[in-house]
Amino acid sequence: MTIPIDQISSMPAFSPYYPSPPVRYRNARFQFVCFRSDRSAVDRILPSCFEPSDDGFCVAIGISIPWASNYGAFDESVLTVKCIYKDQVGFFTPVAFLNSRSSIPAGREIYGTPKVFADFKVGMDERVAFTDTQIAGVSILSIRSTLHRTARIEELPQLVPSWRLKAIPKADGKGVDVLQLIDGAKSTSDVRIHVCRSGDGVVQFDPSPVYDLSGFSPLEYYDSYYVEQDYTEGFGEIVHDFLL
């Protein structure tokens, strides 16, 4: 018997490359460093449906996943920037780096998260937590922070809405088949916090011929945070379909 078209969620049809959500994560470690960047750097990477925020607020996020039900273990780093969509303030992710095979296509195809492959060095050196993102053997995004102060989860910046722009090109090269604004914030549920700390942090963006973020060199630092948690990731929300 052939495979019914309405039962195909992703390819290969007979054995999809990644399971469909929900995904359960355990002991996921998040490292947040908040900073102010030059507004022109934010403007350069924003699709035209957004306007950069005047304050240049950005967050660099290092993520280490020791266990995920659908993807296994992987490391990730994310840049998110404050912006405006139709008079609503929110956050857009211009790029996310991962060392995972299956979660990269899942993130791109389901949520529109702009995931690309990179190598990582992640760990603790004395009291400094670090996430070092490398492409072609060179660091392009380095996140370092301490976690010596207690914190409440309510103190963390609320990065919502959490926008992505899902774009899938047509096979014949004539435009796109999908162009949707996605909010990924509502995909997270069943959160259980194990650790919540704060401290001091720094980020460094080095030039690269691809995914160059060197213009985001911080002009001012704000707080940094460290969180360990379990959570479930479901589906996102389509905010706007630009092709309808």
pLDDT of residue 157: 93
DSSP 172: T
- pTM score over 0.85: yes
Q: Percentage of the chain with pLDDT > 90?
A: 98
* Cα 120 from Cα 136, distance rounded (Å): 11
Give the angle subtended at the CA of 113 by the CAs of 237 and 68, to the nearest 5°.
90
DSSP 101: S
* Cα 160 from Cα 156, distance rounded (Å): 12
Look over the chain and give the mean of its residue pLDDT values, rounded to a whole number: 97
Q: Which long-range contacts (CB under 8 A, 24 or more apart) does 42-46 make?
A: 42/81, 42/82, 42/83, 42/216, 44/215, 45/81, 45/94, 45/95, 45/213, 46/81, 46/83, 46/92, 46/94
Domains and CATH numbers, the chain: 22-154+188-235 (2.40.400.10)
Q: What is the pLDDT of residues 59-117, one digit of tens each?
A: 999 999 999 999 999 999 999 999 999 999 999 999 999 999 999 999 999 999 999 99
Q: What is the pLDDT of residues 164-201, one digit of tens each?
A: 999 999 999 999 999 999 999 989 999 999 999 999 99
pLDDT of residue 1: 76
